[in-house]
Amino acid sequence: MMNTRMMTAVLAGLLAAGRLSSGAQQVVSPPTPGGFTTRQSGGAGLDVTTTGAPTTTRENAAQIQGLHIRIQGLLRQQKYDEAEAATMELLQRNPGDQYGMLYLRQIQAGRAALEAPLKKMIVPSVDFRQATLADVVKFLSDISAELSADKRPVSFVLQVPPDFTPAPVTLNLRQVPMLDVLRYCTSVAGLSFRIEQHAVVIYRAKPHAPPHAATTGAGAAAPIPPPTP
């Protein structure tokens, strides 16, 4: 999962530069020969056309189109970690891609909605001494059943390779949101987690390949608009 501060800093820079509006929803139309058209919805209704030199080569254009299709599919499935990684690759390939900025905002909003129930659960106390992953998950499942509004436990799915042994967890906390307990425990164990609609998935993160550098040049082609979802 990308650091939330990093993503927030990217969006804050765009707001400061006037690329995005904080008071109205932005609707970006597909590129035209004159550039992207950004329409403010819910604001003053001003149409703004942004023009600039194309940033992608023709060879790269098909890959960018593929990334748009993949990101939109991941967003529909609420797979925000994968969507974020694909969006960052998109912005590496084409830093001026305005759809990419909108994807990041959608990812941020989607994550916040999934995290909200875990933030509301305040765990009275946590006292782990060299606890195994199985012990941690059982504790979190049991305490979530006590704290959730419907008294149902949070479902946990483990995706840990058999050749990896999570580090034991030693942790002492008081009055902490369930989301923070989950973060601390997985961090100590050397694992990651993602929140999906019906479960929390705890997994061993794979190393990421270096991002592809964006290509520019005189023979660059205009970006291809993503398909309508």
Write out pLDDT tens, residues 94-125. Answer: 988 889 989 999 999 999 999 999 999 999 99
Residue spans per domain, the chain: 4-115, 121-203
Per-residue pLDDT at 133? 95
The most confident of the ranges 2-16, 40-54, 148-162, 211-225 is: 148-162
**How far, in Å, CA of 79 to CA of 194, rounded?**
9
Q: What is the pTM of this model?
A: 0.58
Return the higher-pLDDT residue of 180 and 55: 180
Q: What's the sign of the alpha-carbon dihedral 30, 32, 35, 40? A: negative
Which of the four pLDDT bands, split at 50, 70 and 90, describes residue 207? low
Which of the four pLDDT bands, split at 50, 70 and 90, describes residue 198? confident
User: CATH second-level architecture of 121-203?
Assistant: 3-Layer(bab) Sandwich (3.55)
Per-residue pLDDT at 10? 54
By mean pLDDT, which of 72-86, 140-154, 202-216 is the weakest?
202-216
Per-residue pLDDT at 7? 57
Number of C-beta neighbours around residue 196 at 10 A: 15
Q: What angle do CA 22, 28, 31 make, to 5 degrees?
A: 145
For residue 191, give both structure tokens: 């694992």
| pLDDT of 164 over the 90 cut | yes
Could you read off the pLDDT of 59-69 as tens digits, one per residue?
Answer: 788 889 999 99
**How far, in Å, CA of 87 to CA of 201, rounded?**
21
Per-residue pLDDT at 201? 93
Contacts of 179 (CB under 8 A, 6+ apart): 115, 118, 119, 121
Return the higher-pLDDT residue of 34 and 93: 93
What does pLDDT average to over the chain?
A: 76
The amino acid at residue 229 is P
